[in-house]
Homo-oligomer: A and B are copies of this chain.
Amino acid sequence: MNGARKIERVVLGDQVYEAIKERILDQAYAPGEKLNVDGLARELQVSSTPIREALARLVAEGLVKAEPFIGFATAPLPDRRYYEDVYSFRGVIEPWAAAQAARSRPGPDVIAALRDEVAAMMAGEPSREYRSHRGFTEADDRFHRIILQAAGNQVALKSYDDLRFHLHISRLYLTREQDVGLTHQEHFRIVDALEAGDPDAAAQAMRLHLEGSYERLIK
Contact = CB atoms under 8 A, between A and B. Distances in A.
Nearest to A158: B162
Contacts of A69: 9, 11
Interface in A5-29: 9-11, 14
Report the copy number of this chain in the oligomer.
2
Contacts of A56: 53, 56-57, 60
Interface string A89-113: 1001100100000000000000000
A85 interface: yes
A87 to B, nearest CB: 9
B89 A92 contact: no
A68 interface: yes
Contacts of A196: none
A165 to B, nearest CB: 13
